[in-house]
């Protein structure tokens, strides 16, 4: 039987899809958050000396925040997975017969007959007992434990890649910087929304519309706040 090329039949492909999805979401966060700060400050003042530091701070601070959050999250996940792997190794060493019975019961619960479940459990145990138990019991691939440092770096890079767009457009002349930033940001959001929808297998139009509408609301809200502060003389 030929495998369908469009379907993720192994953990490596699924893992790459998850990384790509995370990258798209990180870029989307960078676009929206940096652009929101940029247009908000630009609505309050046309002084480039005030706009640039605020936007740059949003870009750098957001990237660091994303990296830190991803590092903490993935560290907790990887620590838990490694602890489970050590526990399973210990159980296999201390009580191999009981573990074989447990693996047999797991496959029986999935609908295999008693004889077939036992045969599968025995063959997988002979091949790689630890991997068999991690897969059947815990859905863990010992070769696919994500590095917190790599996750943090990828998250920061994705945020910077998205946030650099409004950082550049807000440097344009005062008369055009805000409308062009709006246009570029919404176009970029449409692209990330479409990519994210295709990766997730959902309707592209719906996924794109959600991202674009959400981004437009964020930009409009921060622009309105900046304009209000300028009008009232607060800044």
pLDDT digits (tens, 9 = 90+) for 77-112: 889 999 999 999 999 999 999 999 999 999 999 999
| Structural domain for 140, as ranges | 11-232
Q: Is residue 105 part of a domain?
A: yes
| pLDDT tens-digit readout, 186-230 | 999 999 888 888 877 778 888 889 889 999 999 999 999 988 887
Average pLDDT for residues 37-59, to the nearest whole number? Answer: 91
Contacts of 219 (CB under 8 A, 6+ apart): 32, 35, 36, 39, 182, 185, 186
Note whether residue 3 is domain-resident.
Answer: no
DSSP characters for 50-94? HHHHHHHHHHHHHHHHHHHHHHHHHHHHHHHHHHHHHHHHHHHHH
- When pLDDT is averaged across residues 45-52 and rounded to a whole number, the result is 90
Q: Which of 24-28, 118-122, 189-193 has the lowest mean pLDDT?
A: 24-28
The count of structural domains within the chain is 1
Tokens of 179: 């409308």
Write down the pLDDT at residue 120. 93
Report the mean per-residue pLDDT for the chain.
86
For 128-142, how does the pLDDT look when each residue is reduced to its tens digit (9 = 90+)? Answer: 999 999 988 888 888
What's the pLDDT score for residue 201?
78
Provide the token pair at 7. 């379907």
Predicted TM-score (pTM) of this structure: 0.76
Q: Please report whether residue 99 resides in a domain.
A: yes
Q: Is residue 38 part of a domain?
A: yes
146 inside domain: yes
Does residue 5 lie within any of the structural domains? no
Using the predicted structure, report yes or no on whether residue 61 has a pLDDT greater than 70.
yes
pLDDT at 8 over 70: no
pLDDT of residue 1: 43
Q: Is 189 inside any structural domain?
A: yes
Q: Which residues of 172-209 are buried (b: 16+ CB within 10 A; e: fewer)?
A: eeeeebbebbbebbbebbbbbbbbbbeeeeeeeeebbe
Is 111 inside a domain boundary?
A: yes
């Amino acid at each position: 039987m030929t495998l369908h090329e469009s379907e993720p039949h192994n953990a490596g492909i699924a893992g790459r899809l998850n990384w790509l999805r995370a990258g798209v979401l990180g870029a989307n966060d960078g676009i929206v958050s940096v652009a929101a700060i940029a247009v908000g400050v630009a609505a309050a003042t046309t002084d480039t000396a005030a706009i640039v530091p605020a936007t740059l701070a949003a870009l750098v601070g957001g990237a660091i925040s994303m990296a830190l959050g991803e590092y903490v999250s993935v560290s907790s996940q990887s620590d838990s997975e490694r602890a489970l792997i050590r526990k399973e190794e210990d159980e296999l060493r201390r009580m191999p017969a009981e573990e074989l019975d447990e693996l047999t019961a797991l496959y029986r619960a999935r609908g295999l007959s008693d004889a077939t479940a036992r045969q599968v459990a025995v063959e997988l145990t002979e091949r790689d007992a630890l991997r068999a138990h991690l897969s059947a019991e815990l859905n863990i691939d010992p070769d696919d434990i994500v590095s917190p440092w790599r996750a943090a770096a990828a998250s920061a890079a994705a945020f910077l890649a998205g946030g650099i767009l409004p950082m550049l457009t807000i440097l344009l002349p005062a008369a055009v910087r805000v409308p062009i930033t709006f246009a570029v940001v919404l176009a970029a959001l449409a692209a990330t929304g479409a990519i994210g929808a295709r990766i997730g297998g959902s309707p592209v139009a719906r996924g794109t519309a959600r991202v674009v509408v959400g981004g437009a609301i964020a930009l409009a809200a921060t622009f309105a706040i900046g304009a209000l502060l300028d009008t009232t003389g607060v800044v």
